Amino acid sequence: MINDLVLNYVIIFIFFELYEISWQKAPSIMGMLIRMNKYYSKSIFLFLIMQPTFYFSIGFAMLTNFNIYAIILLFLKTVDVATKILLLEQVFKKRELTQELSLILLAPINSFLPYIGLLLYPVLIILAI
């Protein structure tokens, strides 16, 4: 019974994570930000709706009675969404970039980078249950 429950949570999370990867994936962080800004510039609420793993982590933390691993998952997803919003504000609204930050944002990223969450987060889900 618990194994089925864990498997269901992991499959749901992987589905949500693949959805996020599909609309955010780009060859650089700036490319990812440009793709995210298409939704963010329309509405922050639309942007937040496009982050289903964030809502999953909130619900999962509540379902596990705030297990430490579920809290870690929630913390990581919250930092992820907050960092995206801060970068979007910095780059597209304020238009204040240091040379170092612009070099980092324009540097090519490994094609494996967007998929790190598919390895890390399901482990936290398994440990939480």
Q: What are phi and psi of 67, to 5 degrees?
A: -55, 145
pLDDT tens column, 64-101: 999 999 999 999 999 999 999 999 999 999 888 888 98
Q: What is the pLDDT of residue 97?
A: 85
Integer Cα distance of 92 and 81 in angstroms: 16
Average pLDDT over residues 99-111: 90
Residue ranges covered by each domain of the chain: 2-128
Look at the pTM and tell me if it is higher than 0.95: no
Q: How many other CB atoms sit within 10 Å of the CB of residue 87?
A: 19
- Grade residue 8 by pLDDT with cuts at 50, 70 and 90: very high
pLDDT tens column, 33-74: 999 999 999 999 999 999 999 999 999 999 999 999 999 999
Q: Choose among 70, 18, 111: nearest CA to 78.
A: 70
Q: DSSP characters for 54-87?
A: HHHHHHHHHHTTS-HHHHHHHHHHHHHHHHHHHH
